[in-house]
Chain A
């Protein structure tokens, strides 16, 4: 199993995927505080246009929350990036037929499945740490952490959401025929959650609620408000891992 994980990591570095991913995430990580820093200037530029429309721009204050607002705004963006780039983990191998050899040599399918899953988790965690770490570093350096509450939970929950998406992605990878199907399946789960989120009554049960870390930061929500969403997300995670495992045992390679 360690050998197969090693192979997965090698594939990531040799195909340049890891490099592209980390560069995109570094870029987005820097972008958040930079946008916050530029906000007053942007308003100043637009103030004339606003004045014509009868809007008067007062003093714009920028603080740590502005930077975190950007952070959570860009979050769905980075989810899309990571889903796009890791969607082919299984299907590439189906198309090339490279899994047939390792299975006939005696590597169990479960091990292949879990290596792929663990590598997916590891990549997501690493990228998340890059993204969060850079934003955190800049934000604390420029504005400190005044007025930001529950920051730990606010960034922990989106990470859990990402882990859930990676599990769902791996499940669809084990089931689907090509990477298009994987994207379609994962995208469907993602967008069904978002659309259902417009219904106020059930929105607190949906995993996408976990991405609303901003509410935790500015204090409009309590950590306990997220309990249902967290439980549902973890349940989906476990269920999709199990379904994927069973389906991968049976599929034709």
Chain B
């Protein structure tokens, strides 16, 4: 494994992007009452547990209601 310090320039931006995505997703979940499927608790859990990109993307593809 290379020195962790060498990888920090890659990891830090990824973490920042991921947190932004999580924040946007949670805001979207809490400002909408109905979803295509599932309910609020499920989507909050999915977004937080799968917070390494996959949870929020799942929410936007599967859970968000069409306008």
The verdict on A33 contacting B10 (CB below 8 Å), with A14-B67, A23-B53 known, is yes
Q: Which of B2, B10, B13 contacts A41 (CB 8 A)?
A: B2
The docked-state distance in angstroms from the alpha carbon of A16 to that of B57 is: 10
The docked-state distance in angstroms from the alpha carbon of A23 to that of B13 is: 11
Are B17 and A26 touching (Cβ within 8 A)? yes
Query: Nearest chain B CB to A206's CB is how many angstroms away?
Result: 33
The docked-state distance in angstroms from the alpha carbon of A19 to that of B21 is: 8
The docked-state distance in angstroms from the alpha carbon of A15 to that of B65 is: 9
Task: List residues of chain A with CB within 8 A of the CB of B36.
Answer: none
The docked-state distance in angstroms from the alpha carbon of A26 to that of B15 is: 12
Q: Is B24 an interface residue (CB 8 A)?
A: yes
Q: Is B62 an interface residue (CB 8 A)?
A: no
* Prevailing SS type, chain A contact patch: helix
Task: List residues of chain A with CB within 8 A of the CB of B13.
Answer: 26, 30
Q: Is A37 an interface residue (CB 8 A)?
A: yes
Q: In A38-58, which residues have CB < 8 Å from any B CB? A: 38, 40-41
Q: Is B40 an interface residue (CB 8 A)?
A: no
Q: Is A191 an interface residue (CB 8 A)?
A: no
Task: List residues of chain A with CB within 8 A of the CB of B24.
Answer: 16, 19
Query: Nearest chain A CB to B57's CB is how many angstroms away?
Result: 6
Are A16 and B64 touching (Cβ within 8 A)? yes
The verdict on A20 contacting B67 (CB below 8 Å), with A27-B17, A138-B9 known, is no
Are B6 and A37 touching (Cβ within 8 A)? yes
Query: Nearest chain B CB to A95's CB is how many angstroms away?
Result: 10
The docked-state distance in angstroms from the alpha carbon of A162 to that of B17 is: 25
Task: List residues of chain A with CB within 8 A of the CB of B14.
Answer: 27, 30
Q: Is A193 an interface residue (CB 8 A)?
A: no
Q: Is A34 an interface residue (CB 8 A)?
A: yes
Q: Which of A15, A19, A38 contacts B2 (CB 8 A)?
A: A38
B: residues with CB less than 8 A from A are 1-2, 6-7, 9-10, 13-14, 17, 21, 24, 28, 53, 57, 60, 64, 67
Known: A15-B64, A19-B21, A33-B10; 7 extra A-B contacts, CB below 8 A, are A16-B60, A23-B21, A26-B13, A27-B14, A30-B10, A34-B7, A40-B2
* Nearest 9 A/B pairs, CB to CB: A34-B10, A16-B60, A41-B2, A26-B17, A23-B21, A30-B10, A20-B60, A30-B14, A23-B17
Cross-chain pairs A/B with CB under 8 angstroms, 21 sampled: A16-B28, A16-B60, A16-B64, A19-B21, A19-B24, A23-B21, A23-B57, A26-B17, A27-B14, A27-B17, A30-B10, A30-B13, A33-B10, A34-B7, A34-B10, A37-B2, A37-B6, A37-B10, A38-B2, A41-B2, A138-B9
